[in-house]
A and B are shown apart, each in its own frame.
Chain A
């Protein structure tokens, strides 16, 4: 009886020790995770604020005036004119049958040249 009692007490102490140790480790881990979570939260919050500012800057850089100027300088693009818009029905390409042999790829430059020539004639 005495041996069992001693064994049980020892077991009890060991279990208590393990639980205490485990709890301590667990608490430590949780605290570490909480710190990490707080840091991540903080970073996300900062990122949200930064993204907000970047969006405002993006909007500032994308003003139509600036884009038009850049498109004109770098890409030689101009506003589309009504006479540059061609109806599908005016094209030879048979879209419904995807007739590649008869397909015509209208060359932008040549078309623009012709349109300009027409405008000059007018």
Chain B
């Protein structure tokens, strides 16, 4: 049925009643008494019909749509909802709010687990003695008196026990005691226990970081649930820690620290300090266990500092690698008498000075250069300030003399590593710059952060230093660190411990700083042993060559293959091994 409605008869000058001007064709609706022009009743009827039909049409359309939706596949959810709606519907949040921490390969090294706390609304608890007995049965580690004292307090929220296991929660639930309630929370877990103790730090009961990366990156970890990737490597860290523990035990030392750094960008691959602690344990640890020697331990590095002394001497242009220094006699600088512990060595080149670790030679070098250049150079490698950009809160400022106190004597003692104290992190970062071509990179613990380096020595000086440092390992005090194929270079250092303002000659800190391979240095390793003891194995020596060096050798031979450092073996020798293997294969026994 259709309507043929028109307003063709409408005249502008004439007054029409509502609907009067609508003309409906007679052919469309046949009504005998229907007039369109002047009959008001007919006009009203027409309007009613029109409205009725409109309603019916709308209802029919609705009916068809509803039938279609109800009986068929009327709604395609992909197209029927907007992207925003889809995001609202399908967006799931991880119940754990504190982000995980990963190593450089994506292995979890810190995570949080959803757990519950048990609290009491003591207003609802009628018999606290009975409740305390039942709770004591479930939690035997906490005494009956503890629970009773908590339950006797007045309050709607009294903590009874934090971080319940699912089994404990179920047991408490089964008691059915009104007033015992649970609060959802999360607990920080460190699956590798002590391994990253000083790097990661720990959190308090409210899951707020209180030390280590947990503290320094607390905001990042709580505002984003995306994992935080560190530059450390789980496997390498484990190897280094194991070797360091074995070394500390073997030499009966008070402790030790080791850092492995990527020399090309300052990323720390492994960092450990012994003794350490298990951050999963809630109990309070001793000061020594909590102390991160790698970043906070200030010590006089001893002969390790001769690396910087030689580098700055070469960089100044006043000393050349071919120069010779007469070290046959001691040197008197004011009241200081500089001698070599192993006797005089005669004429020494800068390479020999490092190989023999000659204090006299270092003194002669720095006397050519002068204290101004020395101080400026040490400042350029950040030996005068804390490395505040490093992502740990446990940092120390080196003990660095003021310009006023930087006299002749200080200049001389600093040349062989006394009179200036710094942390292992300072030393390895500066050493990396010396061997990597001369670029100083700020150390970092983050995988995707690469600080722009600054030049501290020329490429030429860096190349010369590599040759000199390699000689220390091939024919000097670092001989025991010579791992075949990896062209290890480095420098040993043993310094008496400073206790209460006096040097204790019976106690020392020995260290060995190394890098490998010499042709294209990729990694630097620093091993520091605190107060090693002499033994039969070391023939009564406590110098670095007998403790820190063999530990370094063990570490390098284990981690270098894992780090894909290209070994530079004797090709002919390798071929003979392969040939022999081939023959064995062809002629089985």
Q: Which of B's residues lie within 8 Å of A, judged by CB?
A: 31, 52, 55-56, 59-60, 62-63, 66-67, 69-70, 89, 92-96, 107-109, 111, 113-114, 189, 191-193, 195, 234-235, 238-239, 483-486, 557-558, 560-562, 567, 569, 571, 574-575, 577-578, 580-582, 584-585
- Asked if A75 CB lies within 8 Å of chain B CBs, one says no
* B108–A19 touching, CB < 8 Å: no
Other 20 A-B pairs with CB < 8 A, given A19-B59, A55-B111: A1-B31, A12-B52, A12-B56, A16-B59, A41-B92, A49-B95, A59-B107, A63-B192, A64-B192, A79-B558, A79-B561, A81-B557, A82-B484, A82-B560, A83-B569, A86-B569, A87-B571, A90-B577, A92-B582, A115-B577
Name B562's closest neighbour in chain A (CB-CB).
Answer: A80
Name B55's closest neighbour in chain A (CB-CB).
Answer: A12
Q: Which of A's residues lie within 8 Å of B, judged by CB?
A: 1, 8, 11-12, 15-16, 18-19, 22-23, 25-26, 29, 37, 41, 44-45, 48-49, 52-53, 55-56, 58-60, 62-65, 79-87, 89-92, 104-107, 110-111, 113-115, 118
- The majority secondary structure among interface residues of chain A is helix
Task: Return 15 A-B CB contacts under 8 Å, by A number.
Answer: A18-B66, A37-B89, A52-B113, A65-B238, A82-B486, A85-B561, A86-B569, A87-B567, A87-B569, A90-B571, A90-B577, A104-B578, A106-B585, A110-B584, A114-B581
Q: A1-B31, A15-B59, A82-B486 are in contact. Are A105 and B70 (CB under 8 A)?
A: no
* B578–A92 touching, CB < 8 Å: yes
Point out which of A25, A44, A55, A64 has the most chain B C-beta atoms below 10 A from its C-beta: A64
Q: How far is the CA of A107 from the CA of B589 in the complex (A)?
A: 13
Q: A8-B56, A45-B95, A60-B191 are in contact. Are A91 and B113 (CB under 8 A)?
A: no
Expressed in whole angstroms, the minimum distance between the Cβ of B93 and any Cβ of chain A is 8
- Chain A residues whose CB sits within 8 angstroms of the CB of B96 once the complex forms: 49, 52
Contact among A22, A37, A86, A106 for B66, CB-based, below 8 A = A22
Q: How far is the CA of A49 from the CA of B62 in the complex (A)?
A: 44
* B59–A45 touching, CB < 8 Å: no
* B94–A49 touching, CB < 8 Å: yes
* A59–B108 touching, CB < 8 Å: yes
* A114–B580 touching, CB < 8 Å: yes
Expressed in whole angstroms, the minimum distance between the Cβ of A38 and any Cβ of chain B is 10
* A49–B114 touching, CB < 8 Å: yes
Name B564's closest neighbour in chain A (CB-CB).
Answer: A85
